[in-house]
Structure 1
Amino acid sequence: MAARTLNAIVRMLEVLCSVVLLAMMLLTFVDVVGRYLLGAPVFGASEMISTMLALTIFLGLGIANARDKHIVVELVDHRVRSLAPRAYDVVVQGFSIAAMCLIVFVLFQQAIEAAHAGTTTIVLEWPLAWITGTVAGLAALSVVSQVLGLVVGRGGAAGHHLEDV
């Protein structure tokens, strides 16, 4: 059950991330062509690209958390891990989940503040509450995918290889 749910979440995140990244690339292309060849850039392109970048980052974060494929710097890692491998994994994953929960909390707080203040983006005047709330929701989904990944088991410490670093 948990494995199927995790696979469905990851697949959805992959598809959405691909679509947003494709849209960001196409918008950038059209904006550059319009700016330098036609003298008419796309109105608000930088705001749209910034928003899509935030979405891409947090969609990708959910995928990375689900697969435990973060960048790993192993300076003293192997020494500490060899002393107590299970405790090490619990501490590292616990810290990671706590940090992600803090990010979710702060993003939701910012979304609530933006909703109360009625703040919008500068050029397109998009409601910041919707943008920040969406990013917060993706961060929360990232926490869910990380926890499900732990339940399902992704290989953990033994799953890290040199090419993953």
Structure 2
Amino acid sequence: MGFSAWLTAHYEEKGPVQWLAFALELVAAITLFLLMILTCADVFGRYFFGNSVDGTTELTEIGIAILVFAEMPIVTWRGGHIVVDILDKMWSNTVLKALGLLSALLMSGSLYYLGVRIFQFADRSFRREEITELLEIPVGIIVQYIAFMSWATAALMMTYGVYHMLTQDRD
């Protein structure tokens, strides 16, 4: 089985979104693996050598930010958020699709605005030359990544997320 066949068999998305989902999940998986290695090395070093890995806390915080915001677009366009569907059986499929579209518009608008505000914080971090305490990593890079992933989530929600929502019938 070739890689494309494997990708098609394991991802429900179609076209470029399928490749984007794989790439983002690969980033998240590699980040999680590196966090695991870092934690093991830190604990091993602390208990057997009396010295932990310098900057573990900073790297863990950055890794969690990368992990969470790499998965955010995937969770959003797959509709993996918590949904309360108490009244779904009482309303028609058309009303549910309209409400879903409204929620997609609200989520996308909110994420876009959030991305704008976060990007402003990143710009301020660059102007002030803020760095992490121990490893001296520029804070603005991580904050910019969060802003870009918020924008990506908003854009993907408005494109593939709305398409997926409108083409899927509910029981």
- Please tell me the TM-score bracket, short chain as reference: 0.7 to 0.9
Quote how far apart the aligned CAs of 1:157 are: 7.0
Of 127, 132, 137, 2:138 maps to 127
Of 84, 101, 105, 1:94 maps to 105
- The amino acid across from 1:158 in the alignment is R
State the structure with bigger RCO (CA 8 A, min sep 6), 1 or 2. 1
8 A Cα contact 2:104 2:158, kept in partner: no
**Secondary structure of 1:153's partner?**
helix
8 A Cα contact 1:104 1:137, kept in partner: yes
8 A Cα contact 2:43 2:52, kept in partner: yes
Quote how far apart the aligned CAs of 1:132 are: 0.7
Once residues 132 and 168 of structure 2 are traced to their aligned partners in structure 1, the CA distance between those partners, rounded to angstroms, is 41
Q: In the TM superposition, what whole-angstrom CA distance separates every residue of 1:60-101 from its partner, at most 9, and x where no partner exists?
A: 111101211112233x44267548223211111111111211
TM-score normalised over the length of structure 2: 0.81
Cα gap change, 1:90 to 1:43, in 2 (>3 Å): same
Once residues 81 and 55 of structure 1 are traced to their aligned partners in structure 2, the CA distance between those partners, rounded to angstroms, is 39
**Secondary structure of 1:158's partner?**
coil
Quote how far apart the aligned CAs of 1:7 are: 1.1
For 1:158, the equivalent position in structure 2 comes to 170
For 1:7, the equivalent position in structure 2 comes to 18
Deviating 4+ runs (over 6 angstroms): none
> Does residue 57 of the first structure (1) align with residue 68 of the second (2)?
yes
Cα gap change, 1:86 to 1:73, in 2 (>3 Å): closer
For 1:78, the equivalent position in structure 2 comes to 88
Identity %: 22
Once residues 152 and 86 of structure 1 are traced to their aligned partners in structure 2, the CA distance between those partners, rounded to angstroms, is 11
Once residues 37 and 87 of structure 2 are traced to their aligned partners in structure 1, the CA distance between those partners, rounded to angstroms, is 41
Q: In the TM superposition, what whole-angstrom CA distance separates every residue of 1:1-38 from its partner, at most 9, and x where no partner exists?
A: x9412112111101111111111111011111111222
TM-score normalised over the length of structure 1: 0.84
> Does residue 149 of the first structure (1) align with residue 160 of the second (2)?
yes
Quote how far apart the aligned CAs of 1:127 are: 0.6
Return 5+ residue gaps in structure 1 as ranges: 160-165
Once residues 52 and 84 of structure 2 are traced to their aligned partners in structure 1, the CA distance between those partners, rounded to angstroms, is 42
Aligned residues: 157
8 A Cα contact 1:3 1:152, kept in partner: no
Q: In the TM superposition, what whole-angstrom CA distance separates every residue of 1:141-164 from its partner, at most 9, and x where no partner exists?
A: 2223222323542565728xxxxx
For 1:163, the equivalent position in structure 2 comes to none
8 A Cα contact 2:118 2:146, kept in partner: yes
